[in-house]
Amino acid sequence: MSQLDTAPGGGAFKAPGLEALTNYLENSGWSLEDFDGRTSLWQPADGITDRVIRIVLPAQQEVRDYPERTYEALQVLSFVERRLPQEIVNDILFGGADNIAVRLTPDVPPGEAPLNLAYSAISALRNFVVAAAAALDFDSLVLPPRRPQRAEAYASQTRISTQPGSFILSLALPLDDIYSTESDDSAPPGQESLVQVPPQPFGRKVTNRMLTAARKAQQLAGQVSEGDLPLSSFGKYSPGAPNATELAALSSLGGADHGIYQIRFAKTPLAGGVADPAFLRITPGQQRILGEAADYLRTKQPRAGVTVTGLVVRLFREGKYGSGEAVIQGVSDDSGETRRYRVELGESDYNEAFRAHGNGLSVTVTGDLDIRGTRRSIRRIESFSVLPGLEDE
């Protein structure tokens, strides 16, 4: 089991259990070199590091110096993996977790941040995770109003903490999620689960998506800033292109004043294919462009799965029969604002809209929201119906 111990030099850390720690070493490329009954000696696999490095662990967790030996092992792992010891602890406790760390630079004493900035950054990180997880199912520059349940559930599994530095938010993203069929539910309550990582786990896909989206967003922002590309370049879809929610999150991480921030992506070795941590530095100018790009996409790009509920205020068709156009004044679940929306309806739906207009009944329509200037239209209609009135009850 884990326990809270004091690290040499002061400070507290959560020491992982011996079984979980050795399991991590075995699954992250280390091998047992020697065991003498009192201690075990571990060496890294070829290619992990070009230095002669070893880890010594006690044979039993009950020994008095177990916290010190564990802390030393974490320091070695920290050097090899270029991650903080606490990030590795979270990795072990989760049974596999990538890490995203954001260093903010507020003009306040180290370790502190204005409440508004901290709230903005934490909210932005959550939105970034949800948007990246949702993007795995939606190849769209504007996500639908209703996020996939799996994306929301995964965001609730992530854990955030602060680290020493100017002001660092560290986010642990578990490789496995509650929807994975290969999840290990056998660990007793209160104990860390052993490492059983499926190939291409959902959490690694989310991490890869976040890194790809951040890199492409920064690259486009730099080209727009230099005048090499127009802002509309964000509207050209390509695999991995950042969606509006991801752009807004990256713009909001620096707070309302768009203070410069750094973001680091570090992957656990438990899922394989690990490279050195990736670092990005997002400037105030880039953040402003990313925010403008998010607004541009939400204004110019169709939004799928939008539902509008309201009254039919205008009807038009060329003849007595056939399809026609209706104007609905109502509220969409996308914005919550009352607007007028144009819809093209087939003959049967148009007749229903005519009946609703004559009897003052509300209608509901679901489809893709298309915005052109001040004109809003619902296209590629998925459903249309008249809401029952008192006379129908």
- In the chain, where the domains are located: 3-81, 97-181+197-300, 303-392
Cα 176 to its chain centre, rounded Å, is 14
Show the tokens assigned to 35. 């065991």
Mean of pLDDT values over 219-239: 93
Mean of pLDDT values over 316-334: 91
Question: How does pLDDT run across 266-281, given as a tens digit for each residue?
Answer: 999 988 766 789 999 9
pLDDT over threshold 70, residue 256: yes
Show the tokens assigned to 199. 């190939």
Q: Which of 29-38, 78-87, 172-181, 285-294 has the highest mean pLDDT?
A: 285-294
pLDDT over threshold 80, residue 312: yes
Residue 48, judged by CB atoms within 10 A of its CB (0-12, 13-18, 19+), counts as: middle
3-class state of residue 266 by DSSP: strand
Closest to 326 measured CA to CA, from 302, 361, 307, 354: 354
- pTM beyond 0.85, yes or no: no
Dihedrals φ, ψ of 271, to 5°?
-100, 0
Question: Which residues, 6 or more positions from 55, have their beta carbon under 8 angstroms from its beta carbon?
Answer: 25, 30, 41, 42, 43, 72, 73, 76, 77
Q: Helix H segments across 82-175?
A: 85-94, 115-135, 149-157
Radius of gyration of the chain (CA): 27
For residue 48, name the pLDDT band (cuts at 50, 70, 90).
Answer: low
Mean of pLDDT values over 108-134: 94
* CB-based contact 340:313 (threshold 8 Å): yes
3-class state of residue 291 by DSSP: helix
Question: Which residues, 6 or more positions from 37, have their beta carbon under 8 angstroms from its beta carbon?
Answer: 59
pLDDT over threshold 90, residue 288: yes
Question: What does the pLDDT read at residue 197?
Answer: 56
pLDDT over threshold 90, residue 44: no
Question: What does the pLDDT read at residue 132?
Answer: 97
The residue ranking higher by pLDDT, 86 or 324, is 324
Mean of pLDDT values over 375-382: 91
Statement: 303-392 belongs to CATH 2.40.50: yes
Q: Tell me, what DSSP letter sits at residue 96? A: S
pLDDT over threshold 90, residue 189: no
For residue 304, name the pLDDT band (cuts at 50, 70, 90).
Answer: confident
Show the tokens assigned to 357. 């207009």
pLDDT over threshold 80, residue 199: no
Mean of pLDDT values over 129-150: 89
Q: How far apart are CA 274 and CA 203, in angstroms?
A: 14
Question: What does the pLDDT read at residue 355?
Answer: 95
For residue 1, name the pLDDT band (cuts at 50, 70, 90).
Answer: very low
